[in-house]
Amino acid sequence: MTKKEFKIHLKHPKVIIFLFVLLFFVIFFTSFFIGRYPIKPSQLILVLLSRIFPIEPTWSKTVESIILNVRLPRILSSAIIGAALSISGLSYQGMFKNPMVSPDVLGTTAGAGFGASLGILLGFSYLSISLISFGFGLVAVIFVTLIGSKLMNQKTLALILGGIMISSLFTSGTSFVKLVADTDNTLPAITYWLMGSLSSVRKSDIYFLLITTIIGLIPLIVLKWKLNLLTLDEDEAMSLGINTILLRKIVIFCATLMTSASICVGGHIGWIGLVIPHFTRMVVGCDYRISLPISILMGSSFLMVVDTISRSLLTSEIPIGILTSFIGAPFFLYLMIRESKKV
C-alpha cells in the first residue's frame, strides 16, 4: 500500500475513532441492563458511583452483587478478550501477508486447549488450570518458532507448516485426554471449556487479562507504522531500514501473549481474530495507524454483544464459542463474496 492510499484512509481518522468509541460505550453500558435479572440505569449509575463516592444505598444487595460480581467481570473480560483476539488476528494477517490467518495459526489455541484439558483431568484448581493453559499456549508457539528457525529461506511457510504440525499434536493430545476422562464429570467440563464460556470469570481474571493485554498491545502500538512495512516484499522492507526478523518476533510474542491469556480465561472463542480484522480493513483500510485502534474497539464491542446474547437468549447459557462461530462464519462468507466481486 502506498503513502497516497494511507492518506485517503486517514482523511478523517479522529471522527472514525470517535464514532467507534461512542459505539463501544453504548454497548458497554447497555450490556448491564440486559439479562434475566433487570437492572435500571439509575441503579447502575448509583452502584458504580458508590465505589468512588460515599452514597447512601437505595438499592438491594442483590442488585449490587449482580452488577459488581457478575456482570461487570463478564463485560470487562469480554471487552478485553475481544480486543486481544482481534488485534492478534490483525497483526498475524499483516505479518503473514495472508487475510485467512487467525490467532491460532501458530498452535496457541491447540496448546492452551490441551493444557486446560489436562488440568481439568488431573483435578487442578481453577487458577492452576488457567496457568497451565496459558503455559501450554506459549510452549506451542515456542516449538513453532524453533521449527521456523531451521528453515531460513522459507521463514513464513515454515512457521505456518510448523503451526499446523504442532496444532495437530496438541489436538491429538486433547482427544486422548477426553478419551480417558470420566464421562460423568470430567469430560463434560472439558467439552464445555473447549466450547468457550465466560460464565466462570472472576475478578482476578480481569487483572490477569488486563496486564497481559497491555504488555502485548504497547509494542504493537509503538511499532504501528513499521507494521505496515511487513506487508511489503522482504527486500523492499529491509531497504527501508526495517529489521523484519526482529519485528516478526515482536509480533509473534505480543500476539501469542494476548491470545494465550484470552484462551486460558475464556476457552476457545473462534472467528473473532479472523473476521474482525477483515471488517476493520473494509471500514478504514490497511494502515495500522488507524486499523489498530479501530480493531480494538470492534473486537471489544463484538464480543460484548455476543456474550450478552449468550447469557440472555435462553434460560440456560449458550457457550460463547458456538455463537461466535454461528455469527462469524456466515459473515466471513459474505466478506469473501463481497471481495470476489471487486476482482
Per-domain boundaries in the chain: 3-101+267-340
Please give the pLDDT value at position 51. 87
Residue type, 276: I
Please give the pLDDT value at position 8. 42
Please give the pLDDT value at position 242. 79
Alpha-carbon separation of residue 164 from 93, 160, 195, 231 (angstroms): 16, 6, 20, 22
- Cβ(110)–Cβ(300) below 8 Å: no
Please give the pLDDT value at position 3. 45
Please give the pLDDT value at position 7. 43
Please give the pLDDT value at position 11. 55
Give the CATH number of domain 3-101+267-340.
1.10.3470.10
Burial (CB count <10 Å: 0-12, 13-18, 19+), residue 224: middle
Q: Where are the alpha helices (DSSP H) in the chain?
A: 3-9, 13-33, 41-50, 61-65, 72-96, 108-121, 126-149, 155-180, 186-195, 203-222, 224-229, 234-239, 244-266, 272-284, 288-312, 320-340
Q: What is the full per-residue pLDDT of the chain (343 aa) written as tens digits?
A: 444 444 444 456 788 889 999 999 999 999 999 988 888 888 999 998 988 888 888 888 899 999 999 999 999 999 999 999 999 999 988 888 877 788 888 888 899 999 999 999 998 988 888 889 999 999 999 988 888 777 656 667 778 888 889 999 999 999 999 999 998 889 988 988 888 889 888 888 899 999 999 999 999 999 888 888 877 777 777 777 778 888 888 998 999 999 999 988 988 888 898 889 988 988 888 889 899 999 999 999 999 999 999 988 877 888 898 888 888 778 777 767 776 666 5
Please give the pLDDT value at position 300. 96
Mention every residue, 6+ apart, whose C-beta is less than 8 A from residue 334. none
Please give the pLDDT value at position 4. 45
Angle at 292 between CA 339 and CA 3, to 5 degrees: 70
Please give the pLDDT value at position 276. 92
Q: Say how far apart CA 178 and CA 190 lie, in whole Å.
A: 7
Please give the pLDDT value at position 196. 87
Dihedral over alpha carbons 27, 28, 30, 32 (to 10 degrees): 150
Please give the pLDDT value at position 224. 87
